[in-house]
Chain A
Amino acid sequence: MSRYLIRRVLTALPTLLLISFVLYAVISLAPGDPLSQFAANPAVPPEVRENIRHSLGLDDPWPIRYVKWLVALAHGDWGYSFASRIPVWDLIKLRVPNTLAVVGVAYLFALIIAIPIGILSAVKQYSIFDHVATTLAFIGFSIPTFFTGLLLIIFLSVKLQWLPFIYDSTLQVRDLASLGAQIKQSIMPIVVLGLFQTATFVRYTRASMLENLPQDYVRTARAKGLAESIVINRHVVRNSLIPVVTLIALTAPTIFSGALITEQIFRVPGIGSLLITSIQNNDIPVIMAITFTFSFLVVVFNAVADMAYGVLDPRIRYD
C-alpha cells in the first residue's frame, strides 16, 4: 500500500506540472491584456501604464513568467491579484466560506437524501416508489441548473415573493431573525444544486444495488435465515456503496470550484463567480490559483478514490 502511494505521488507530480503549464500557456497566449482596463482610462497615461505593467512583471515573455510563477508557488506564494491588488490567497479565503455554505451544504444534503432513496428504489424495483424516484432522478439529471434556478426565481421570488433571489453575503448570523434570513436566502441555490447532485447519486446507488441484489452471497445470506433487513443493510448496502464512495471522492473537488452557474444566477460571491470575473479581467494569478487548485484536488481525490476502493474491497490488490 505505501509503495503504491509513493508511486501514485511520483506520477501525480509530472501530471500536475504539465497541467499548470497548459493552463498558464492558454491564459498567456490569449490575446487579452490584463491592463486593458487602464487602456480605456484617459486618466492613466501610457508611461504609468508601462510602469504598472513592469511592476506586475508583465514585461517578461510568458515562459519566463511561468517559471517565476512556479518558483513562487513552490515557496507557497500565489502572487497578487492584478485587479484587486491583494494576495490571491486572501481573495480566495474570502470567497471559500460562501461557496462552502451553498455548494458544500447542497452536496451534503444530496448525499443524505439520495442514498436512502437509491437503496429503497432498488429494493422495491418496479414499485410505484421506484418509478417516481427514477423518473424524478432522470428529470433532475436532464434539467440544466440555469433553468431550475430561473424557474424557482419566477415562482418563489417573483410570483409568491417568499424568498429573496439575491444572496446577501454581508448578512451575519447573530440572532434568530438573521439565521432565518440566511436560511431563506440559501434555500433556492441549495435546492438547485442539490437536485442535480441528488439525481446523480440516486441513479448511481440504485444501479449499484441492482447489480448486487441478484448475487450468490445475497442468496446465501437469505438461505442462512437472516432477516431481510439485515440482508439488505449489512450485506447488500455495504457492498453497493463501494462505487458510490468512489463517485463521492471523484466529484468532491467540484465543491471547491464552486458552482459557476448557480453562483451566477443567485449572485453568490463564491469561488465560481470570482473565477468568472477574473477571466473577464484577465487576472492571471487568480485564474491560475483557482484552476490549478482545482486540478490539484482532482488528482489528489482520484488517488483517494483508488485507495478507498482498495480499503473497502479487499479483492483489489495494488502491485
Chain B
Amino acid sequence: MATSVTAQNLVRAPATVDPTLRRPARSLWSDAFRQFRRHRLAMFGVFTFSLLLVATLLGPVIYRAPTDLIDYSAGLLSPSLEHPFGTDDLGRDLLARVLIGGRVSMAVGVAAVVIAITMGTLIGSVAGFFGGRIDTVLMRLTDLFLALPVLPLLLMVTYLFRDPMRKAFGPEVGIFILIVSVIGMLNWMPLSRLVRAAFLSIKQKEFVEAARCVGASNRRLMANHILPNTLSAVIVAATVGVGQAIITESSLSFLGLGFPPDVPTWGRLLYDAQNYLDLAPHWAIFPGLLIFLTVLSINYIGDGLRDALDPRKTQ
C-alpha cells in the first residue's frame, strides 16, 4: 500500500498535526473497554451487580437487624417499615437474612468459577500445546466428564458426602467446600475445549515461533505468549459461569440438599418459603428476585464483554 500512489495521496496537503488532536495511544484493552462502555445493557448489568455486591457486603454492617432472633408473635409478617422484606414463620427478619445469604451465594458462585476456570484453562492449554498422546488422553477425559449427568451427580455427591465433610470442617465450611468444589469440578469442560482450540491455532502463529527461536521455554511460551491471546474466551466464560454457579447452588439448596437450614442462602430461603406461598408470598419473592437480578446482570455483563472482546466486532 505504501508505494501505490492514489489520487487521494496526491491531492492531500502536507500534514501538520495539531498537537491538541493528539490522543494517548490506544491499547486493545482500552478499545475493548470503550466498546463495553457503549453496551447499554452491559452497563445496566454492571450497575445492578455492583449494587447487589455492595448490598450483600456492606448491608449486614449497616442494617443491623438480627438474622436469627426467633419471635413467634412476629411470624409471617408482610413487608413493613420495621421489616422491609417481611418475616418468616419464626418471625426472623427476611431482609437481614437475604443480605447474609447473598454473601454465601455470591461467594459460592465466585469460588466455584475460580476452580472451574483454573481446571479448564490448565487442561485445555496443556492439551492444546503439547498435542499428541497427552492431548488424546485429556480430551477423552473431557468427553467423559461431558457425558456425566451433572445435576444428578451433583445431588448424589453433596447428599452422600455431606456428613463426613461436616465432621471434617464444621457444618458451614464443610458444606461450602463440598458444594464449591463439586460445582467447579463438573463445569470446567466447555472452557477446556475452547482454550484447547485457541491454543491449537495460536501455537502455529509466527510470533510463537519467533519466541521459541529466542529460546523461550515451554512454560514461558504458554503463559506469556499464547495464554494472553485466549483470555477473552476465558473472561467471558468466567463471567457467565458465576451466574450459572449461583443458579446451581440455589437449585441444590432448593432441593434441600445444599447448605444447612441456619445458613440462609437464597436457594435455601426459597426452599423454606415454598410451604407458605399462600400466607407469605413475600418470603419467596424477595430471594427469588435477587437470584434473578444477579444472574440477569451477570449475563448482561457477559454479553457485553463478548461483544467488546470480539475483534471482529470493532468498528
Contacts and interface: CB of A to CB of B under 8 A. Distances in A.
B152 A294 contact: yes
Contacts of A299: 147
A176 to B, nearest CB: 30
SS class of chain B's interface: helix, strand, loop or mixed?
Answer: helix
Contact of A142 (B147, B161, B163, B296): B296
SS class of chain A's interface: helix, strand, loop or mixed?
Answer: helix
B157 A146 contact: no
Interface string B243-274: 10001001100110000000000010010011
Contacts of A280: 159
Interface string B123-165: 0000000000000000010011011110111011101110110
Interface residues of B, number: 42
A151 B147 contact: no
B54 interface: no
Contacts of B288: 144, 146-147, 150-151
Interface in A274-291: 275-276, 279-280, 282, 287, 290-291
Contact of A260 (B155, B159, B285): B155
Contacts, number: 122
Nearest to A143: B292
Interface string A21-46: 01100110011100000000000000
Contact of B255 (A31, A151, A260, A291): A260
B147 A15 contact: yes
Given A15-B144, A144-B295, A257 B160 contact: no
B299 interface: yes
B174 interface: no
A80 interface: no
Interface string A135-176: 000110111101100110110011000000000000000000
Interface of B: 140, 143-144, 146-149, 151-153, 155-157, 159-161, 163-164, 243, 247, 250-251, 254-255, 267, 270, 273-274, 277-278, 281, 284-285, 288-289, 291-292, 295-296, 299-300, 303
Interface of A: 15-16, 18-19, 22-23, 26-27, 30-32, 138-139, 141-144, 146-147, 150-151, 153-154, 157-158, 257, 260-261, 264-265, 275-276, 279-280, 282, 287, 290-291, 294-295, 298-299, 302
6 contacts: A26-B157, A30-B160, A31-B164, A32-B159, A32-B160, A138-B300
Given A144-B288, A279-B155, 5 more contacts: A15-B143, A30-B160, A142-B296, A260-B155, A299-B147
